[in-house]
Amino acid sequence: MNILFFSAQSYDREYFTRANLKTSYNLRFLESPLNVDNTALIKNEKVICVFVNDQVNAEVIAQLKEKGVELIALRCAGFNNVDLAAAAAAGIRVVRVPAYSPHAVAEHAVTMLLSLNRKIYKSYNRIRDNNFTLAGLEGFDLYGKTVGVIGTGNIGMVFCWIMLGFGCKVIAHDVYENKELVQAGVVYKSLQEVITEADVISLHCPLMPETKHMINRESIASMKKGVILVNTSRGGLIDTVAVVDALKKGHIGALAIDVYEQEEHLFFQDFSDTIIMDDVLSRLTTFPNVLITAHQGFFTREALTQIAEVTLNNIRCYSEKKELTNEVK
């Protein structure tokens, strides 16, 4: 089986090569992202492996069909970048990694929240300059605060458990209520109630038409003044321009994001010697109360190992004509 990887980084090569010792597939790695201009790079591969920022729209899928591609293997949980209807019409099946160490992303969200609240990043820079003052580093106790969690799937559930451990009052919104979380003390409420009552809001829901820009000018207006907003899910959940305006006005007290709506043009690349042309992201980086990481939440040894193993197992099931339990339809 020949497999072509798009948007491949050094860690993709390392972990997939190691996992492939059990399967011995022919793996070929390209740093280039998949888009309409480079499907010609596909040679004799029946399977392509893509990541979150690869473009798998209808036009690309038509070209994949012409190249003889039979399977699109996502090495991630999200699939909003894939035109599933076009893939089905082309007879190309799509598989994903629905869960990979949910602790990795949940813990990263907590890390960002704590660092933002207690100004750890500011303190670190001060100490390096031999400045040991504390002025301007004041935070607040998370204990007793109301934390709103939007989306209580695998990652959101772990985040809830951690926040409960801090002694927070956890309120949540999801289409499905998790009985274990309810028994532990999590109170499910409407989306509007969560947004209105929370001191901290953390997003853990998928990006779909109904969730796109769920954080917008209207929803922000109903939030508590000084609310902390954390997003480690998908950038499109937030109307970033509206958030910038709310930060300027002081309505949003702090923002932590590991994802960005236009990240496909930036994340996983080095622009240290060039000028970033994205004015919205550039504006965000000027705020002292904004913490940004570049889609780093999944980046742990455990998660990378599981991603590689599950992805290759998905491909193995396809090649052996077994049931595709992780197929996206």
Domains and CATH numbers, the chain: 2-100+300-319 (3.40.50.720), 102-292 (3.40.50.720)
Is position 213 annotated as part of the catalytic site? no
C-alpha span between 182 and 139 (Å, rounded): 29
In tens digits, what is the pLDDT along the chain, a chain of 329 residues? 999 999 999 999 999 999 999 999 999 999 999 999 999 999 999 999 999 889 999 999 999 999 999 999 999 988 989 999 999 999 999 999 987 889 999 999 999 999 999 999 999 999 999 999 999 999 999 999 999 999 999 999 999 999 999 999 999 999 999 999 999 999 999 999 999 999 999 999 999 999 999 999 999 999 999 999 999 999 999 999 999 999 999 999 999 999 999 998 899 989 999 999 999 999 999 999 999 999 999 999 999 999 999 999 999 999 999 999 999 98
What is the structure's pLDDT at 264? Answer: 85
295 an active-site residue?
yes
Q: 234, 261, 264, 309: which one is catalytic? A: 234
- At 36, the amino acid letter reads V
Question: Exactly one of 75, 96, 295, 309 is catalytic; which is it?
Answer: 295
DSSP letter at 140 equals -
pTM: 0.90
| Rounded distance between C-alpha atoms, residue 239 and residue 233, angstroms | 14
Where b means 16+ CB within 10 Å and e means fewer, 35-72 reads beeebeebeebbbbbbbbbbbbeeebbebbbebebbbb
At 290 the pLDDT is 97
| Whether 234 is catalytic | yes
Q: Which of 45, 263, 264, 309 is catalytic?
A: 263
Scan for tokens 């899928």, then name that residue: 61
Q: Which tokens is 108 given?
A: 């990263």
Count the helices and strands in the chain (H runs, E runs). Answer: 12, 12
